[in-house]
Amino acid sequence: MTPERLRARLAELYGLRVAEVEPVDRGADNTARLYRVTDADGRAFAVKSTAGGSPAGLVVPAALGARYAPQPRRTRGGELWADADGLRLSVVDWVDGATALESGMDRARWNAYGRLIAALHAVPVDGALRRWVPEETFDPRRWAALFDRVDAELEGRPRDAHGERLAQLWLAHRDALRAVRERTVRLGAELRKRTGLPSAVPCHADPHLGNLIVTSAGDVVLIDFDDAILAPPERDLMFVLGGGVIAAASVTAEQQGWFAEGYGYHEPDPGLLAYYRGVRVLEDVAEPARLVLDPRSTPGERETGLGYVADVLSPLGLLGQAR
């Protein structure tokens, strides 16, 4: 969709008088385009057009409310999104501020982060959430299959520099990675049969500190709900408990305690945590490794992919928690 076409559709469907359209390079969704749009009154919005995913990324923050998440703007017809030229078009309030990774987290912010996740997990699962938000299936086959393809391709030792560096990283940890893959598949099968699982609640599914924004007013809000899912709380708590998923910003025991002060008491389920960590390891090594091995990827994309893999495999990385 061209900027000119986007302006016209926003005026038609949302009643927005667009003054400026600026493309934004954010996210890994290749089917989506994101823009920072400013209207004639100077208000800024995140405008997204996509052919993929589900509307869960709009339904969940709308149910959570403006205190904790930027809100979708409704169409002239009162809907959370519009169908435009075969794409799902959405308009969400733009949030100015730095990510928690950039600005840092003190005790007050960890408390606020805990309260935010608690509020999300307390949102009633009915109506639009039940209709539009997918539910956990405990089926890791997508990521296990991608892992297997990458693992097999690396057997032949790629010849270019990026591929060689990836092979060195991967092969040094292959036994541990394969063990996590096997255990994750097994845990998924067990969880699909298990009775008495914790109730499914609305989960963000990727609430790391890079998706937590500290606003100019000092509040914390969560962005990028595209992977939202109905799942046990451990789906989100994995990003704090045990150190989280980002090696360069490992969550300390003290910080975990500060988060718990805001979230409240919860006895984590070891099997669920192990499963979700395993899935995250498979995803976070296989997907960037695929980009590194893809000859169509740019050098920058390949370098970034190598960084992601190295982070997971580092001493403080997620692989160590998932073993």
Residue 27's CATH number: 3.30.200.20
* Residue 26 pLDDT > 60: no
Q: List pLDDT tens digits, range 178-199.
A: 999 999 999 999 999 999 999 9
Q: How many domains are there within the chain?
A: 2
Pick the last residue of a domain from 43, 73, 94.
94
Compute the average pLDDT of residues 126-142.
96
pLDDT digits (tens, 9 = 90+) for 263-312: 999 999 999 999 999 999 999 999 999 999 998 999 999 999 999 999 99
Residues 207, 117 contacting (CB under 8 angstroms): yes
Q: What is the pLDDT of residues 35-48, one digit of tens each?
A: 999 999 999 999 99
Predicted confidence at residue 47, as pLDDT, reads 95
pLDDT for 160: 87
pLDDT of residue 29: 55
SS3 290: helix
Residue 30: which pLDDT band, with cuts at 50, 70 and 90?
low
Same domain, residue pair 143 and 172: yes
Q: Which amino acid is at 207?
A: P
Identify the H or E element spanning 107: helix 107-121
CA distance 202 to 200: 7
Residue 251 has pLDDT above 60, yes or no: yes
Q: Are residues 109 and 89 in the same domain?
A: no
- Is residue 187 within 8 A of residue 278, CB to CB? The reply is yes
Query: Do 141 and 276 belong to one domain?
Result: yes
Do 69 and 20 reside in the same domain of the chain?
A: yes
Are residues 207 and 314 located together in one domain of the fold?
yes
Residue that is last in its domain, among 63, 94, 125: 94
Task: Mark whether 79 and 144 lie in a shared domain.
Answer: no
Asked whether 280 and 207 are in contact (CB, 8 A), the reply is no
pLDDT digits (tens, 9 = 90+) for 200-232: 999 999 999 999 999 877 789 999 999 999 999
Instruction: Quote the CA–CA distance of 193 and 191 in Å, as a whole number.
Output: 5
Who contacts 141 (Cβ-Cβ below 8 Å, separation ≥6)?
A: 185
The Cα 50–Cα 58 span in angstroms is: 13
- Taking only the tens place, the pLDDT of each residue in 5-24 is 999 999 999 999 999 999 98
Highest mean pLDDT among 30-34, 52-56, 264-268: 264-268
HEC assignment per residue over 170-194:
HHHCHHHHHHHHHHHHHHHHHHHHC
Range of the domain at 109: 99-323
Query: Which of 117-131, 145-159, 179-193 is least confident?
Result: 145-159
Q: How far apart are the first and last CA of the chain?
A: 45
Per-residue pLDDT, 158: 64
Q: Could you tell me the pLDDT band of residue 92, with boundaries at 50, 70 and 90?
A: very high
Average pLDDT over the chain reads: 93
Bigger pLDDT: 323 vs 127: 127
| Mean pLDDT score, 135-162 | 91
Q: How would you classify the pairing of strands 212-215 and 44-50?
A: unpaired
Query: Could you tell me whether strands 87-93 and 72-73 are parallel, antiparallel, or unpaired per DSSP bridges?
Result: antiparallel
pLDDT of amino acid 323: 79
CB 292 within 8 A of CB 309: yes
- Same domain (yes/no): 71, 104: no
Contacts of 217 (CB under 8 A, 6+ apart): none
Is 60 in the same domain as 169?
no
Confidence of residue 28 (pLDDT cuts 50, 70, 90): low
Of 180, 144, 169, residue with least CA distance to 322: 180
State the burial class of residue 313 (Cβ atoms within 10 Å of its Cβ: 0-12, 13-18, 19+).
buried
Instruction: Confirm if 225 and 61 have CB atoms less than 8 A apart.
Output: yes
**Mean local confidence (pLDDT), 107-122:** 97
Which residues are CB-contacts of 60 (< 8 A; sequence separation ≥ 6)? Answer: 69, 120, 123, 129, 133, 202, 204, 225, 228
